[in-house]
Amino acid sequence: MTRKFFVGGNWKMNGSKKDVNTLVSMLNNATFSDVEVVVAPPALYLSTVRTELNSNIEVAGQNAYYVSKGAYTGEVSPEMLKDMGINWVILGHSERRDIFRESDEVVAKKVKHALDTGLGVIACCGEKLEEREAGQTTAVVFRQLKAISDLVQDWSKIVIAYEPVWAIGTGKVATPQQAQDVHDSIRQWLSENVSPAAAEATRIIYGGSVNGGNCNELAGCPDVDGFLVGGASLKPEFVNIINAKI
Ligand X SMILES: O=C(CO)COP(=O)(O)O
Quick one: which of 194, 208, 215, 219 contacts ligand X (CB under 6 A)? 208
Residue 168 touching ligand X (CB under 6 A)? yes
Residue 46 touching ligand X (CB under 6 A)? no
Active site (annotated) includes residue 163 = yes
Q: Does residue 116 contact residue 97 with C-beta atoms inside 8 Å?
A: no
| Interface segment toward ligand X; rule CB under 6 A; list 26-34, 66-74, 137-145, 204-212 | 204-212
CA distance 143 to 175: 23
Q: Does residue 223 contact residue 180 with C-beta atoms inside 8 Å?
A: yes
Considering only residues 60 to 99 of the shown chain, the ones binding ligand X according to CB under 6 A are 93
Straight-line distance from the first to the last Cα atom of the chain, in angstroms, rounded to the nearest whole number? 18
Quick one: which of 106, 141, 174, 210 contacts ligand X (CB under 6 A)? 210
- Rama region for 92: left / alpha / beta (φ>0; ψ in -120 to 50; rest): left
CB of residue 121 to ligand X, shortest distance in Å: 14
Catalytic residue among 58, 102, 163, 183: 163
| Interface segment toward ligand X; rule CB under 6 A; list 27-35, 68-76, 218-226, 227-235 | 227-235
Could you tell me what percentage of the chain is helix, strand and coil, using 3-state DSSP and rounding each to the nearest 5?
45, 15, 40
Nearer to ligand X, 169 or 196 (CB): 169
Cα-based distances in Å from 196 to 108, 187, 200: 21, 9, 6
Nearer to ligand X, 152 or 168 (CB): 168
Cα-based distances in Å from 24 to 21, 59, 188, 225: 5, 11, 38, 24
Residue 10 touching ligand X (CB under 6 A)? yes
Active site (annotated) includes residue 183 = no
Q: Does residue 60 contact residue 47 with C-beta atoms inside 8 Å?
A: no
Count of residues in contact with ligand X, rule CB under 6 A: 14
Residue 137 touching ligand X (CB under 6 A)? no
Query: Which residues are the active-site residues?
Result: 93, 163
Judged by the rule CB under 6 A, the positions of this chain that interact with ligand X are 10, 93, 163, 168-169, 207-210, 228-232
